[in-house]
Structure 1
């Protein structure tokens, strides 16, 4: 009996040592694809948060709450709320219209805030405003693809829009020979890639085709989400 007890003890210790950590309650009901969707969403929103910080640093006078809190606190506060929460003036405004208004020469107010709110709502619309995904949750690959194209359009507007005095409405990348800085371009390019990759993953999984679009700089019409 002593020999049997020793073998049993060794077996139990080995099993315990090799056991996987238990899943959290939120992980039950999730497939691998659900976790992939969440990781892509978290990445693109984190990149948007970084973009917001960079835009405020390049355009410090835009910040509506400067003097009340630090820049990091200001941006964290914005992203702590659900995408559709607050900002009653944009309650019935399409996200892409908010983006276009933010970069319009006539806009008055915090342009970075408007740009971020519009971009965040547009991105979240491509995920049907969900943040948790489970087995029966589906998202539209076409919406994800369209959001990638809309990021391209927003980036083009950001780089080219000027006020009535000929100054850029928001500063981002500098292309001057002595101070070339394309960090904004790289960051936005990462956001585009994240949405495109997930669109392809979802389309392949669902066995569907995504309608591709060639963006024309002359029209710059945002795609529907």
Structure 2
């Protein structure tokens, strides 16, 4: 009985021209993939020199940059919240962009926010997260969080050699943001709705960009708190090392 012949020819059975075309096609695809530009994820960029930096130590500069980035992260979160909660910016201005500008100006110029009834720091943050708060909650939350950060840094956004930081206050600010984030995601308004729509976890998709940006702020605060504590501790250790090593580091006479 004759064996059935396979329906798919072996490579040796293919015409030479067909094999050559297949090889050329694969090589062409490989070269195209290698020549395609990689995705641009941005570059690290430093700021231009300013004369004020002559009055800053490395730790001063680090704290100044962290504060600047934390405030910019809060403003980015404000924009995200306004996009998901458009009814809020309508309580403040005629457009989202104008509302963002008002809040940014109040934060940077350390001006009070009227809807917070003169409260600042954690008292303002607590009021902004009350279920019965009737004002622009996005603006109030952003302003109060920013004011709390600035207060934790001694009321400053830029630091020089004469400025000091209390690491426990910075550490407490990080914990306050964790608590505020939890309240924002769990507390409900009087009507049973979330205080603000922030993260999205649903059948349509997941959007945790708010959570990630908030995590960046908390991470920077914890780093500054740890770094400041370590700097003070190392200063004490260095002083002690100088006292102990002093007698052994004296130059010896040579004549």
Return the TM-score normalized by structure 1.
Answer: 0.76
> 1:83 touches 1:121 (CA, 8 Å); kept in 2?
no
Give 1:116 shift.
1.0
Higher RCO structure (Cα 8 Å, ≥6 apart): 1
Question: Over alpha carbons, which structure has the higher Rg?
Answer: 2
CA distance in 1 between counterparts of 2:134 and 2:109 reads 22
Q: Which of 70, 87, 92 pairs up with 1:65?
A: 92
Unaligned segments of structure 2, at least 5 residues: 1-47, 235-255
1:202 aligns with 2:224: no
CA distance in 1 between counterparts of 2:88 and 2:105 reads 20
> 1:51 touches 1:184 (CA, 8 Å); kept in 2?
yes
Query: Which position in structure 2 is the counterpart of 1:134?
Result: 160
Superimposed CA distance per residue, residues 18-46 of structure 1 (whole angstroms, 9 cap, x where no aligned partner): xxxx9532122211111101010011111
**Where in structure 2 are the equivalents of 1:64-103 lying within 5 Å?**
64-67=91-94, 70-81=95-106, 82=108, 84-88=110-114, 90=116, 92-103=118-129
How many aligned residue pairs are there? 185
Query: Which position in structure 1 is the counterpart of 2:70?
Result: 44
Structure 1 residues 183 and 88: alpha-carbon distance in aligned structure 2, compared to 1, 3 A threshold: closer
**Where in structure 2 are the equivalents of 1:1-225 lying within 5 Å?**
24-63=50-89, 64-67=91-94, 70-81=95-106, 82=108, 84-88=110-114, 90=116, 92-207=118-233
Unaligned segments of structure 1, at least 5 residues: 1-21, 209-225
Give 1:161 shift.
1.2
Give 1:180 shift.
1.4
CA distance in 2 between counterparts of 1:29 and 1:84 reads 23
CA distance in 1 between counterparts of 2:179 and 2:77 reads 16
Structure 1 residues 142 and 83: alpha-carbon distance in aligned structure 2, compared to 1, 3 A threshold: farther
> 2:113 touches 2:140 (CA, 8 Å); kept in 1?
no
Return the TM-score normalized by structure 2.
Answer: 0.67
Which region of structure 1 is more displaced relative to structure 2, 142-151 or 105-114? 105-114
Q: Give the alignment's Cα RMSD to 1 decimal.
A: 2.0
